[in-house]
Amino acid sequence: MNNVSDIFVVVRAFGSAVANFWWAIFPIAFFYIFKLLWIDYVAVYMPGSWLTSPKWTVLEVFPPREIEKGPKLMESFFTGLTGVLTTFDVLAEYTKGAFWHDRFSMELVGEEGKIHFYIRTQKKHRNMVEAQIYAQYPDAEIVEVEDYTQKFPKIIPNRNWDLWGSDFDFVGPAPYPIKTYDKFEETVTGEMIDPMAATTEVLGTLGPGQHIWLQYVLQPLPEGWNLDKAQKAVLDKLTGRTAVESLGLGGHLLDVFSNLWAGLFAPVEFKTTPKKEEAPLEFRLSPMEKERLKAVEENLGKNSFKTKMRLVVLGRRETFDKAKVSAFVGSLKQFNDINFNQFKPENVSKTYASDKIFAERRIAFRQRKIYDRYRRRNMDGALMVFSTKELATLYHFPDMGVKSPAIIRTESKLGAAPANLPVE
């Protein structure tokens, strides 16, 4: 009986404390919840928000008929896109939802045997995007077009259309690079093999009613992201260094009080870490470890983008061929390197069900979700970090060695207008 009364006294005292000091307890307890809800509101639902107010346009790029240089040109293009980086003040963050930098979307589309290169950008950046393209490909042609995703039903799957889709995710840590364009080299002649050849060949085999969409939604990362703790941990692991962790104020206080009683009776002996004599780094690492360290450091030294990589394969039900999924995903595996990094379809977003419980409904839900996110160029879910070199490998205009008739190129070489052309 005494135990019950004691519990009652404690509960009563707690209730009395909450009743008297609710004005101090509740704001602290619910601050972070309110912050998350407010950020979601101002970024998505508030009129004039940072996410909903921008005006977008879709540009189609027709590559030149003869491209003699490789993907390195696109590396300069992606570096130029980082010019949109800016610093937001607190007022803009919490009144307009300016929590991320302006985004772009690079999209490779196969449409019934034809291949299109699209760039989705805010209208205010159109001139910058075109200037960067023309700087690297003077003979290219850029046309503003209607968003191709709007030509399809708002909800798929339906009785006429079916689809398969998935986001992609890294297998290893982000600083580890994938296989980049400089690794695609013929060993005998030394000539570079364009990595886009395999993907364009698959897109060129699409028949009537068959479509493949590959999307890279890009958000530039500010310079200095490579100094984050996660990136340093990767380098420490590669070099065999042990990261030095700071105890912080709480750790130092705990250390003092834990030795306080012992210090009253005897001198306190502080722990010392014996210094290990190690061989120089170049002798401790194997040849592959040296190469991996060099590749990671080079990757961290370039501008980078937070990236959502998403694939959607869709078609009319009577012509939908799931074998195209395996063929296209297989063509993307050429960018994987077991010794460095790989990417793979992410299980959470992939349109499949691992068991038979309501399998059809669950698959349909995933199909609708990934289709809607593709159309909105949404970045929710698994994200990867690609450097400009990696992006140039994944998305560039095929060189003249790729003879696929599915690629729509400029009809002829463009030239400048004569200087003496009369203008009325």
Residue 185 has φ and ψ, to the nearest 5°, of -135, 135
What is the token pair recorded at 257? 């009080």
In this structure, is residue 409 part of a structural domain? no
How far apart are the C-alpha atoms of 194 and 366, rounded to whole Å? 34
On the question of pLDDT at 253 being above 60, the answer is no
pLDDT at 210: 93
On the question of pLDDT at 341 being above 70, the answer is yes
What is the token pair recorded at 4? 């019950």
Q: Check the CA dihedral 90-91-93-98 and report its sign.
A: negative
Mean pLDDT of the chain: 78
On the question of pLDDT at 129 being above 70, the answer is yes
Asked if residue 299 lies in contact with residue 174, where contact means CB atoms within 8 angstroms, the answer is no
Instruction: Flag whether the pTM goes above 0.85.
Output: no
Element (H, E) at 36: helix 31-40
In this structure, is residue 318 part of a structural domain? yes
Taking every pair of Cα atoms in the chain, the longest distance, rounded to a whole number of angstroms, is 107
Q: Give the model's confidence band at 240: pLDDT under 50 very low, under 70 low, under 90 confident, else very high.
A: low
- How many structural domains comprise the chain? 1
On the question of pLDDT at 178 being above 70, the answer is yes
Model pLDDT for residues 55-76, shown as the tens digit of each residue: 899 999 998 877 767 788 899 9
Asked if residue 120 lies in contact with residue 56, where contact means CB atoms within 8 angstroms, the answer is yes
On the question of pLDDT at 52 being above 80, the answer is no
Strand ranges in 317-354 using DSSP code E only, listed in sequence order: 343-345
DSSP state of 257: H
Asked if residue 168 lies in contact with residue 343, where contact means CB atoms within 8 angstroms, the answer is yes
Q: Which residues pair with 170 in a beta bridge?
A: 343
On the question of pLDDT at 415 being above 60, the answer is no
CA distances from residue 4 to 14, 16, 18 in whole angstroms, order as listed = 15, 18, 21
- Indicate the range of 36-50, 113-127, 169-183 predicted with least confidence: 36-50
In this structure, is residue 230 part of a structural domain? no
In this structure, is residue 203 part of a structural domain? yes
Residue whose structure tokens are 């399998």: 359
Under 8 Å CB-to-CB from 219, ≥6 apart: which residues? 100, 101, 102, 103, 305, 306, 307, 379
On the question of pLDDT at 125 being above 80, the answer is yes
Q: Which residues pair with 117 in a beta bridge?
A: 61, 108
Model pLDDT for residues 88-97, shown as the tens digit of each residue: 666 666 666 6
Percent residues over pLDDT 70 in the chain: 63
Q: Give the model's confidence band at 246: pLDDT under 50 very low, under 70 low, under 90 confident, else very high.
A: very low
Percent residues over pLDDT 90 in the chain: 30
In this structure, is residue 51 part of a structural domain? yes
- Indicate the range of 47-56, 142-151, 236-245 predicted with least confidence: 236-245
Q: Give the model's confidence band at 243: pLDDT under 50 very low, under 70 low, under 90 confident, else very high.
A: very low
Averaged over 349-369, what is the pLDDT? 85
Cα–Cα–Cα angle for 50, 52, 56, nearest 5°?
Answer: 100
Model pLDDT for residues 136-173, shown as the tens digit of each residue: 988 889 999 999 999 999 999 999 999 999 999 998 88
Q: Check the CA dihedral 127-132-138-143 and report its sign.
A: negative
DSSP state of 419: T
Averaged over 387-415, what is the pLDDT? 74
Asked if residue 109 lies in contact with residue 214, where contact means CB atoms within 8 angstroms, the answer is yes
What's the CA dihedral at 76, 82, 83, 85 to 10 degrees? -170
pLDDT at 262: 60
User: What's the half-sphere exposure (Cβ side, CA atoms, 13 Å) at 158?
Assistant: 7
On the question of pLDDT at 100 being above 60, the answer is yes
Model pLDDT for residues 193-220, shown as the tens digit of each residue: 788 888 888 898 899 999 999 999 999 9
- Indicate the range of 32-46, 133-147, 225-239, 258-272 predicted with least confidence: 258-272
Q: Domain of 378?
A: 40-223+303-394
Asked if residue 302 lies in contact with residue 226, where contact means CB atoms within 8 angstroms, the answer is no
DSSP state of 244: P
Model pLDDT for residues 285-335, shown as the tens digit of each residue: 667 777 878 888 888 888 889 999 999 999 999 998 889 999 999 999 999
In this structure, is residue 18 part of a structural domain? no
Element (H, E) at 389: helix 388-394
On the question of pLDDT at 244 being above 50, the answer is no
In this structure, is residue 74 part of a structural domain? yes
On the question of pLDDT at 83 being above 60, the answer is yes
- 3-state secondary structure (DSSP) of residue 65: coil
In this structure, is residue 15 part of a structural domain? no
pLDDT at 165: 92
DSSP state of 354: S
Q: Check the CA dihedral 131-133-139-140 and report its sign.
A: negative
Which of 250 and 15 is assigned the larger pLDDT?
15
Model pLDDT for residues 214-225, shown as the tens digit of each residue: 999 999 988 766
